[in-house]
Each structure stands twice: as structure tokens, then as C-alpha cells.
Amino acid sequence: MAPTLPSRRLRGIARAVVAAATLAAALLVADVAPSRAATAQSCDIYASGGTPCVAAHSTTRALYGSYAGRLYQVRRSSDNATRDIGVSSAGGYADAAAQDSFCSGTTCVITIIYDQSGRGNHLTQAPPGGFAGPAPGGYDNLANATAAPITINGHKAYGVFVAPGTGYRNNNTNGIATGDQPEGMYAIFDGTHYNGGCCFDYGNAERNSRDNGNGTMEAIYFGNIKVWGYGTGNGPWVMADLENGLFSGVNAGFNANDPTVNHRFLTAIVKGEPNHWAIRAGNAQSGGLSTYYNGARPNVAGYNPMRKEGAIILGIGGDNSHGSAGTFYEGVMTSGYPTDATENAVQANVVAAGYGAGGGGGGGLTPGSSVSLRATTACCTTRYITHSGSSVVTSVVTSSSSSTDKGNASWTVRAGLANSACVSFESRNTPGSFLRHQNYQLFLHANNGSSLFASDATFCPQAGMNGQGSSFASSNFPSRFIRHYANNVYIASNGGSNTFDATALWADDVSWVVTPSWA
């Protein structure tokens, strides 16, 4: 149940909404005037608590009741054109239909996540730093714009799907805490999408993308790396990345109060002020927040006082380490140390926003169901994804096919081995073996339990690129989709360097109708 706010606080929120509307009108050049009375959203609530947002990022919704501007920008691969995606109405939800129409039949990446606070703290492709990224010039990759579909209050929207190598950053910010100044931050993540790479972070980092020593960062971390800190269970954990250390409490290493937490939609909070900081978290779909740590700075040299530098990162470590995976939906950074009461009200606002799974091309893909996957290219509409031993091809299957052929074309849908928001396909007639890619080609291999296998065998469904059925993005190469080419099956990008990346027929070849299984 949403916490009840004292009436003084409610009046404060009302004042903050008016103030936010005025600020937005003054600062947001590209924005549209609100058309209805504003409802207090996360950043209005922080403002009413005296700790206003100085950065507000979301690809799913407005974080101010009056915000009517841009949420993010996408770029499509067919012609490199870009399009800003805004909200459908002031204070409302992302206009995902605009993205779907712009990206129809091609692929899109998220190029900019706009700052709604009016301070211009937008996030763009992260540059090289201590580590070079995999994209040209040492930049990090940009996220596939369609790999993390969800619903929010019943409206379709997309999150920011971070596969290893993906990262966003702003090294030239305005108003973000520096030195030992107080700040707070929250983010909504997919609690089922994480890994043990360094470091899926959102928050304050170095302005030169390098490791500048203990205390030069203060960011939310989410994942199950145990190199630095960890909590109970096997992870994932919410921790604070303070540079050269992910902290789950006052101690380096283990702290017993930081539990494994993996809600599908996870609210994660880190905040810090002189010799004091906290970790909090909760289920973004219901209930309140729990406090996992609230106390003094770590008992390790270099973290008191802090030397925060005020850049903002998403999906990477402070030195541009980019081995991590995760999904981000929204997050803010504040000026000042928010009270628990303010954060509890923000959590109630997030719960009321109504995050839900779904929104993708997942029709017929319920875990446990048995399916076959039929090609939609005109040449091949009687061909299905089939295995013969470990090789995977498309082959014609009809009602008069042998039971072996039908079995070879039948798959049990499993929750994605690397990300339960996505799916994996287990062979019906070879239980324990899954479709996985290796050198970009699909094979049927026995699950060896490794995290590489899990990633290689996880595919994220979305609406079919040619308007039919579903397309399946590779979880660890999200710009590549399951494609048939000369009757073999690959994960293919649209226009990459391999013959099977050919642009001709790409949208058709990556679109599959999910049917009840042949066997």
C-alpha cells in the first residue's frame, strides 16, 4: 500500500509541482506545454523533500508531472536517421508507437537518453577511458532500442538493454554532486538481467573515464560480481560503487545485511553525505523499500571524505569497464541527501506507475509451452527451425513428416537462461540441449551450466521485423537476430560483414511465426 503523506508534505508536493512546471517551461526548449493538471511524479516528490533532481533519465515515462519533452533518441540502421521519442502526454508514458513506426523493418539503437531535469545532463555513447569500448574509436556500444520491451500502466515502452560492451556517459555535467557533497539516486532495473562482469552502474563517476582512486565515484551497482563486495546468497546484490570497490555495507567484502534481490522490476537506491551513506531497495511493482545499509563510510582508507567527480555513467564502471549486463528503465540523481520518507513516496509513485512484463513479440512464448518456429520469407513459409544432431537448419515440415522430423522441429520454451525476461529454446527430443549461437551460427548443444552458454542460448523476443510473428535478439549480441540464410540459421545483424548479414530480405528472414509444436 502507498504510504500516506502528511498534509504538510502534500502541500509541499503541490508547491513543487508548480515550481517544476515553471522550471520546465523556462529550461526545456524542445518541450511542449502541459495540457492537463500535473500529477506529482518522482522528481516532484524529491523537490518537495528539498532534494531536487539534477538528472532524470527514463525511456519509459515522464519523471515530472509537467514534463512533456523528449525521453530518448533512437537511430535506425537502414539510413542512420534519428528520431526523438517523447511522451504521449505531459507527465505520461513513452510514445513507443513512434519508435515502432520509425524502426519498422530495420533495427534501432538508443543514441541519447535525455535529462528531464532541464540541466542538460543527457547520456550518450560512452567514450574510451581506462578501458576502450568495442565500437569505433574505442566508444562503447549503444543499446538495441527494442531488446527490452515492457508495459507501463498498460502502455508499451522500452528499457535500455545493456549487453556487455554497452555504455552511456556524461563527463560534462551540471549540478551533480562533487567532493563530499550530499546526493541521492534511485534506478529501476530488471532484477533478472545481470551478470558478474564489472560493472552495471548508474550514478556518479569520474569526469575523465579513468580510475582516479578510492572515493571518486558514488553509483548504484547491480549484479553478482564478488571481486569486491557481496551480501548473502548467490546474488545479485544492490551495492554502491565507490571506486576500487563495490560496497554492500561498512566492510570491504561481505556484509550480512545485503540480501540477494531479483525482483523483475527492482527499485535500487544509493545515497551519500559526509561520513554517512545508505543502500535501499524494493520491488518496483509492489510494497515499500528495505534498508540494507545505513551508516558510516566504509572502514577502508580513501572513502571519507569522498572525492566525487560528478560525471554520470550508465551500464559501465567508472573507468569504462564494460563487462556488465543489465536493463535500465528510469533513474534520477538528486542534489542533497533525500530522507527515507521522500524515497518511500518515490517508491509509491514508481509502484503506481505500473511496470509490467510483456510488451514484446512474446505471443505463444510462455515458459513451459511447446512451439515450432516457422520462417516467414516468401521462399520458405513451410520451413521450420530444426536440428539434426547438433546442426541447426530450416527444413520443410508438414503433417505427413515423420515423427523424428516433427520432434526435431519442436522446442520447449524456457525462461531465458541468462535473463528470465527473455526465452531459451530446449529441444523437445533432446532434453537438456538448447539452441545457442557460436561464432554467430546456431547449434543445438547440451547446457554446460556456464554463464557463456546461458547468454548464448538466450533470445529476447519482440514483434516480427516484417510485421509477422516474432524476431529474437541475441541476449549477448542484441543487435543480432535469429535469421535463416541459405537454410542455415545464424544470429545476423542488418548489413554486417558476414554474408548472412545481407540487408536483402533481412526483415523477412529474422521474422518467425510461433506455432504450436509439431511434436
- Count of residues that interact with ligand AHR, criterion CB under 6 A: 13
Provide the residue type at 425 as one letter: F
Tell me, what DSSP letter sits at residue 61? Answer: B
Nearest-angstrom CA–CA distance, 435 and 424: 7
Smallest distance from the beta carbon of 219 to ligand AHR, in angstroms?
A: 7
DSSP, collapsed to helix, strand or coil, labels residue 497 as: coil
Q: How many helices (H) and strands (E) does the chain have?
A: 7, 33
CA gap 297, 276 in Å, rounded: 5
Residue 64 or 200 having the CB closest to ligand AHR: 200
Q: In what order do the strands lie in the sheet with 355-356?
A: 155-158, 149-152, 355-356
Cell readout for 464 is: 516480427
243 binds ligand AHR (CB under 6 A): yes
- For residue 473, what is its C-alpha cell? 535478439
Q: Please list, in sequence order, all residues whose beta carbon lies within 8 angstroms of the beta carbon of residue 225, skipping any fewer than 6 positions away.
A: 195, 196, 197, 198, 199, 235, 246, 324
Using only C-alpha atoms, the chain has a radius of gyration, in whole angstroms, of: 23
Least distance CB 202 / ligand AHR (angstroms): 12
According to CB under 6 A, which one of 159, 245, 331, 478 is a site residue for ligand AHR?
245
**Which of positions 305-344 make contact with ligand AHR (CB under 6 A)?**
317-319, 321
Residue nearest ligand AHR (C-beta atom) = 317
Would you give the binding string for ligand AHR spanning residues 139-178, x where CB under 6 A is met?
----------------------------------------
Q: Is 442 in the site for ligand AHR (CB under 6 A)?
A: no
Q: At what angle do helices 7-27 and 340-353 cross, to 10 degrees?
A: 70
Question: Does position 198 bind ligand AHR by CB under 6 A?
Answer: yes
Residue numbers annotated as active site? 243, 319
* Cα(39)–Cα(54) distance, integer angstroms: 20
State how far the Cα of 488 lies from the Cα of 505, in Å rounded to an integer. Answer: 15
CA distances from 518 to 398, 402, 404, 408, 431 (A): 9, 10, 10, 9, 16
Q: Which residue number, 270 or 284, has a Cβ lying nearer to ligand AHR?
A: 270
Query: What's the grid cell of residue 378?
Result: 516468401
What gap in Å lies between CA 158 and CA 73, rounded to an integer?
12
> For residue 402, with 0-12 CB atoms within 10 Å meaning exposed, 13-18 middle and 19 or more buried, which class applies?
exposed
Contact 70, 111 (CB under 8 A): no
Kindly tell me which of 242 and 457 has the beta carbon lying closer to ligand AHR: 242
12 or 129: whose CB is closer to ligand AHR? 129
User: Which 207-236 positions form the footprint of ligand AHR (CB under 6 A)?
Assistant: 211, 228
d(CA 135, CA 125) in angstroms, rounded, equals 10
Query: Among 41, 166, 244, 517, which residue sits at the site for ligand AHR (rule: CB under 6 A)?
Result: 244
Spell out, one character per residue from 106 to 125, where the chain touches ligand AHR: x when CB under 6 A holds, - when not.
--------------------
To ligand AHR, the closest distance from the beta carbon of 171 in angstroms equals 13
- To ligand AHR, the closest distance from the beta carbon of 245 in angstroms equals 5
Shortest distance, CB of residue 126 to ligand AHR, whole angstroms?
12
Specify the residue, 202 or 481, whose C-beta has the smaller distance to ligand AHR: 202
What secondary structure letter does DSSP report for 254? B
CB of 183 or CB of 243, closer to ligand AHR: 243
User: Cβ of residue 478: shortest distance to ligand AHR, in angstroms?
Assistant: 22
34 forms part of the interface with ligand AHR (CB under 6 A):
no
- Shortest distance, position 204 Cβ to ligand AHR, whole Å: 11
Whole-number Å distance between alpha carbons of 68 and 32: 5
Minimum gap (Å) between residue 326 Cβ and ligand AHR: 13
- Using the minimum distance from each CB to ligand AHR, give the nearer residue, 317 or 478: 317
Part of the chain binding ligand AHR (CB under 6 A), chosen from 12-20, 99-107, 238-246, 352-360: 238-246
Among 108, 110, 246, 333, binds ligand AHR (CB under 6 A): 246
Q: Does 49 bind ligand AHR (CB under 6 A)?
A: no
Q: Which residues bind ligand AHR (CB under 6 A)?
A: 198-199, 211, 228, 241, 243-246, 317-319, 321
